Amino acid sequence: MTTLAPDATAFEAVDIAKSFGGLKAVDGVTLAVARQEVLGIIGPNGAGKTTLFNLLAGALMPDRGTIKLSGEDVTEAPAETRANKGLARTFQIPRPFAEMTVRDNLLVAGQDQRGETMVGSLFSFLTVARQERALKERADRLAEFLRLTPVLHDLSKSLSGGQRKLLELGRALMAEPQLLLLDEPAAGVNPALMEFIMERVEEINAGGVTVVLIEHNMSVVERLCGRAVVMASGRLLAEGPPGEVLADPDVVEAYLGSGPAAA
């Protein structure tokens, strides 16, 4: 797989593995992602893609292997620590707080909120107030960036499926991440919203954020990703530019299915 200089690497996974009983969900994956790269991870259902994301984000701990963020070993670090080091993620099925407004959902996702900690209570009221004001301003800017301003004060349970996708992305961006993991950001949305999401991801990446995305829509992968890796049965099957990867006969058989229809 691709080898990068340490100072050019956003994250690196070396020989990571995770099993559930007799099932090897991730089986010896080694992967390095460059700073400000947009990497696509594709593969059939059950290939291990989401488990790999869970390992990278700290929701699961690997059975073996190492994971580094910007050269720092975080293999045993919990999700909160990785988030504080600049990693954020979205989920395929958005998980907003249903009884909270869109704005409050965004605010909850802000990092380092001193006013909500014991230590924060020792800081002056003005310090906490300044931070809360900055978070509200950031939430409002992100709502505008994602076209959520008209529903900013609506409860998230009233949002459409597409709006929930956008809110999920906004919650991740509230943490001002350096590395963003997107789990099927375009799944289940109409073509116009898919186009809008792709434009936002391109703008986020142009601002310096490294992006890794799981996606089944190949047009999204080909447009956004300079490189794609294919997973099958917990392993990396192929790697390269999306067009070349999708033409690989092994990928056609494993991901698209063999036979006349695939051809």
**What's the CA gap between 19 and 63, in Å, rounded?**
7
Q: 123 vs 106, which has greater pLDDT?
A: 106
| Average pLDDT over every residue of 96-120 | 77
Q: Is the pLDDT of residue 258 over 80?
A: no
**What's the CA gap between 107 and 156, in Å, rounded?**
13
- Identify the three-state secondary structure at position 193: helix
pLDDT of residue 7: 58
Tens digit of pLDDT for each residue in 180-192? 999 999 888 999 9
Whether the Cβ atoms of residue 112 and residue 128 lie closer than 8 Å to each other = no
Chain CA centroid to CA 28, Å: 21
pTM: 0.87
Q: Is the pLDDT of residue 4 over 50?
A: no
What are phi and psi for residue 49, nearest 5 degrees? -65, -50
| Average pLDDT over every residue of 199-211 | 97
Residue from 216, 191, 175, 200 nearest 92 by CA? 216
Residue 133: pLDDT band (50, 70, 90) is confident
Tens digit of pLDDT for each residue in 44-62? 888 999 999 999 999 999 9
Residue 256: pLDDT band (50, 70, 90) is low
Residue 107: pLDDT band (50, 70, 90) is very high
| Average pLDDT over every residue of 137-149 | 96
| Average pLDDT over every residue of 209-221 | 94
Residue from 105, 113, 38, 104 nearest 83 by CA? 113
Q: Where are the beta strands (DSSP E) in the chain?
A: 9-20, 23-34, 38-42, 64-69, 72-73, 87-89, 179-183, 210-214, 227-232, 235-240
